[in-house]
Amino acid sequence: MQLAGPDGTERLLEVDASGKVSGARVKDTGEGEKARVMGISKDARLSFRDAAANVSSAVPEGRITHMSLDRYGDEALVWDADVLTSEGAWHGVKVDARTGNVTRIG
């Protein structure tokens, strides 16, 4: 799991299947990347928790394996999630970070 602090500093956390967190370490990304992260975080109106709930509603039989906040082009700001079902099917889910609408399930 990768988290960003209020100053844009990113931290990587290892999370096992039981949810136990270990191995926190700072990811040195540089000032430009920190500024980019702070900008997209500020522009998102939908929290990580709310976005995860929307992803889970879109693929209720799945488990989120990765989720990130990404900007596409000049305007699109989305929570981008990878979801794996118990049958092994992968789904890419995008949630608009401003409105909360699920914009893609693939």
Residues 67, 100 within the same domain: yes
For residue 63, what is the domain's CATH number? 3.10.450.40
Say how many domains are in the chain: 2
Residues 51, 80 within the same domain: yes
Round to whole Å and give the CA distance between 74 and 22: 36
Two tokens, residue 28 = 């040195």
pLDDT digits (tens, 9 = 90+) for 28-82: 778 888 887 777 888 889 988 999 999 999 999 999 988 888 888 777 899 999 9
Per-residue confidence band for 84, with pLDDT thresholds at 50, 70 and 90: very high
Residues 65, 83 within the same domain: yes
Q: Which domain holds residue 9?
A: 1-43
Q: Which of 43, 58, 76 is the last residue of a domain?
A: 43
Residues 62, 106 within the same domain: yes
Q: How high is the pLDDT of residue 73? A: 79
Per-residue confidence band for 2, with pLDDT thresholds at 50, 70 and 90: low
Residues 38, 68 within the same domain: no
Residues 50, 94 within the same domain: yes
CB burial of residue 94 (10 Å; 0-12, 13-18, 19+): buried
